[in-house]
A and B are shown apart, each in its own frame.
Chain A
Amino acid sequence: MEAEVQEISEHLRQYPPFDRLDRKWLDQIAARTDVAYYREGSMIQEYGEPIDTLRYIRSGAVEIYRHNGELYNRIGEGDIFGHTGLLHNRRVRFPVRAIEDTLIYLIPADIFDRLCEEDDQFADFVELSGPRLQATVEQNERENDLMVSRVRRLLTRSPVSIEENATVHEAARSMTDHHVSSILLLSRAEGGDERAFAGEEDGHWRLSGILTDQDLRARVLAAGLSGETPLAEIKHDRLITIQSDESVYEAMLAMLRNNVHHLPVLHRRRPVGVVHLSDIVRYETHSSLYLVSNIFNQGSVKGLARLMPDVRAAFVRLVDDGATSQMIGQAMSSIGRSLIRRLIELAEAELGPPPVPYCFMVNGSMARNDQTIATDQDNALILDDSFDPEQHDAWFAALAERVSDGLHACGYPYCNGGIMGTNPKWRQPLSVWRRYFEEWIDKPDPEKLLHSSIFFDLEAVHGEERFVEQLQDLIAQRASQSPLFLAALARNALNRTPPLGFFRTFVMEKDGQHNNSINLKRRGTAPLVDVIRVHALAIGSRSQTSFDRLDDIVKANSLPAGQADKLRYALEFISMVRIRHQAHDLKHHHAPDNNIEPENVSDGERHNLKDAFQVLSNAQKFLRFRYPMPNR
């Protein structure tokens, strides 16, 4: 191989999408690559001109523009451009100008075509934004599907088994030889038997039972049976099994429900192992499930606060396990809700029973099930209409204060906006809450809505759930009928815009300005959630999580085809980047926040984030057009 081929291929392999290609591909590309130099300020490609090569930036930087001259992107060493034109009639779609002296590698179109055809990763990368983001998110979900808490993950060895017409003695010897506390019993089966699986060497078998140490004691020794007793005579009538792709949680439930400690695990009909209750306990000790039960065992705020390192560890573990943002959000939210429930229980134990029925409500991220780790508290109290402030408010004020202080002690800081039950305004009877919502919806004022939109994500945590349900019904019915309200909400959803993308160690804004970091919540997930909420309220959806809302939107057919999916992929991707950075902060003993520095964003993340920001930006433009201010 010639030196310049090696030189070019060495450079390509450091950057996506080339970093995923094998050596052979890289050398083929490098051997056909041409080179061109562009002085700072000169046009590299003009709109509509023919294009027959993919352009790769070897050094320097360029700006890409839309047809209308608007800045589309600024990219540097290792980035590519021209692929959109190659995919569309071989005409330049986006004009490009060198903003520094730039050396470009030119990769012939025929190689580009072959790469797109033969390498899916490459094709996904150069496709228009939707598919690339979609491919990344779906791949994460697939990988996650294999990893997260499937029962088969607990299996450490293949099962030990024996024919059921063997004797108890033979079974006991085999168990001893293999150091196992249970053995699977097999019986011969006909090929047509629907429970049968093919043996490794001969014929068909089916799983007919399981013999455990405990059975040897209870069913053999205690019953005075001899070691020569055939296994078939002492086996249980009923066999409880679980499929290998069920969740660990399901396995645990199956054991508790049936009071067994050993559970044969099947892949279809073939036994692939046995899970013991202790395997699950060991696994769950570090999980959110265990945490939740531990929360309810704590007798004081101090005790609860001591669990917080475990909460952070559970969060990091979920991230490392490759869980999706939905799973993590759900886990963190249920931990938060359990914490509130326990704080209420502790408070009620001291304050005595509530003077009138009430509901403790959470709002914002906890209601949407998308909490992460750095999050403040948003809650409120809905009281029964028999509430009399003179008589009853002291009790509820005390309750709210205890919960709020407790949450603060556990690392959920007080809400800056005062959205807490400690605020008398948010500690009111149901009828007052109804009036609040009626006023927000019927006389919408964007300024006021800015502070109250958080109440449009609401979920009961404790007490009379029907109070919250009634408010949810009210919102679902009224909001969809009020174009003015939707328009005001939509206008607020445009307040926080995404950046254009990243350039080197900077966040690049739409006007080309640079920033050193980006708040992914403020500039990404929060506005996406806002956009989704508007669409959901417009169709009368009662769902509270963004992903459920998107499902409702798809069912209602209220967005152009594919739009809801794009929003879903964008939300999932930005959420995961945010979550991963928080986990990274935790692992390195930094306080987790929502700020991301571009130098900590990988090349792959940059491309996908750029696409996700674009999805958000388009969705905001659509929102403006879809929910216009009605003329009054």
Chain B
Amino acid sequence: MSNPQPEESTWAAFFADKARRCQDPALRAFYAAGVPGPQTPLCDVPLVALDLETTGLDVHRHAIVSIGLVPFDLRRIRPSAGRYWVVRPQRPLDEASIRFHRITHAEVAHAPDIDAVLDELLAELSGRLVVVHYRGIERPFLDAAVQDRRGERCLFPLIDTMSIEAREVRQGGWNRLKGMLRGAPTSIRLSDTRARYGLPAYSAHHAKLDALATAELLQAQIARHYSPDTPVGELWE
């Protein structure tokens, strides 16, 4: 990770500090909503699955194209309360990413700059713990966009379903099984991981659908490997 990050135990202190010092009202409100203590049982934590589609993987060269989020908790996932935005990247869209995301030039051309949706986005994230599949995209891209538009950092703890899966695959039966069969290493991509939990295949690469898929996956992982009482501090990073 290229960005310096606060230690897990100090997330609450970090949020409190930011809430005092931030100039931008939306960011100030976001930090003021705070984070749950690391001992809070998972079943009591409001969650939000977040997925960004970007023009590429390099935060310095690529930009956000669309944002999807779905609020949930361990009992229920609420796509109907979720949000989806298409935003106009400052860097041009290349053909490959159009094919990948199925978002066209025309859609992007009429979309607002991300600055116009940031207030709403931050409000949706406030008071909820973010859940992503692969932590290398959402947090750095969002942080970069907020720094660029608002001049301040946007950092937060998150649960990464891919890390959870990597841990289980490394420690668990999957690895031994694969080792025995001398097959390819187990894929921990979102769709492959979901299949191992009996979750259906979705037509991927739409930010909100991927957010929904991530939320379902976390519920499945907790049901299989953890318990509703697992302290949130064991899983966030």
Known: A34-B79, A35-B77, A39-B220. A4 touches B215 (CB 8 A): no
Partner of B219, one of A37, A58, A100, A106: A37
| A58–B200 CB distance below 8 A | yes
| A59–B212 CB distance below 8 A | no
Partner of A33, one of B72, B79, B197: B79
Which B residue's beta carbon lies closest to that of A59?
B200
| Nearest chain B CB to A26 CB, angstrom units | 14
Instruction: Identify whether the interface residues of B are mostly helix, strand, loop, or mixed.
Output: mixed
Which A residue's beta carbon lies closest to that of B201?
A59
- Whole-angstrom distance between the alpha carbons of A37 and B75 in the complex? 8
Max chain B Cβ within 10 angstroms of own Cβ: one of A31, A35, A37 = A37
Cβ-based interface call for A102 (8 A): yes
Partner of B199, one of A5, A34, A59: A59
> Which residues does chain A contribute within 8 Å of B77, judged by CB atoms?
34-37
Stretch touching chain A among B36-44, B108-116, B122-130, B202-210: B202-210
- Whole-angstrom distance between the alpha carbons of A2 and B66 in the complex? 12
Cβ-based interface call for B84 (8 A): yes
| A101–B197 CB distance below 8 A | yes
Count chain B residues whose beta carbon lies closer than 8 angstroms to a beta carbon of A: 26
| B80–A32 CB distance below 8 A | yes
Which B residue's beta carbon lies closest to that of A58?
B200
| A7–B223 CB distance below 8 A | no
- Whole-angstrom distance between the alpha carbons of A124 and B70 in the complex? 34
| B199–A103 CB distance below 8 A | yes
- Whole-angstrom distance between the alpha carbons of A33 and B75 in the complex? 14
Partner of A103, one of B198, B209, B224: B198
Cβ-based interface call for A60 (8 A): yes
Cβ-based interface call for A42 (8 A): yes
| Nearest chain A CB to B117 CB, angstrom units | 15
| Nearest chain A CB to B70 CB, angstrom units | 8
Cβ-based interface call for B61 (8 A): no
Cβ-based interface call for A394 (8 A): no
| B80–A31 CB distance below 8 A | yes
Known: A37-B216, A37-B223, A39-B224. A4 touches B209 (CB 8 A): yes
Instruction: Kindly state the interface size class of chain A when it binds its partner.
Output: 20 to 34
Max chain A Cβ within 10 angstroms of own Cβ: one of B80, B197, B199 = B80
| A36–B75 CB distance below 8 A | yes
Cβ-based interface call for B170 (8 A): no
Cβ-based interface call for B21 (8 A): no
- Whole-angstrom distance between the alpha carbons of A101 and B84 in the complex? 28
Cβ-based interface call for A3 (8 A): yes
Cβ-based interface call for B167 (8 A): no
Which A residue's beta carbon lies closest to that of B206?
A3
| A37–B212 CB distance below 8 A | no
| B223–A4 CB distance below 8 A | no
Cβ-based interface call for A38 (8 A): yes
> Which residues does chain B contribute within 8 Å of A33, judged by CB atoms?
79-80
| B208–A101 CB distance below 8 A | no
Binding site for B on A (CB under 8 A): 2-5, 7-8, 31-39, 42, 58-60, 100-103, 106
Binding site for A on B (CB under 8 A): 70, 72, 75-80, 82, 84, 197-200, 202-203, 206, 208-209, 212, 215-216, 219-220, 223-224
Additional A-B contact list (7), CB under 8 Å, known A3-B84, A3-B208, A35-B77:
A3-B209, A4-B70, A4-B79, A34-B77, A35-B76, A35-B79, A37-B219
State the 3 A-B residue pairs at the shortest beta-carbon distance, nearest first: A101-B198, A39-B223, A3-B206
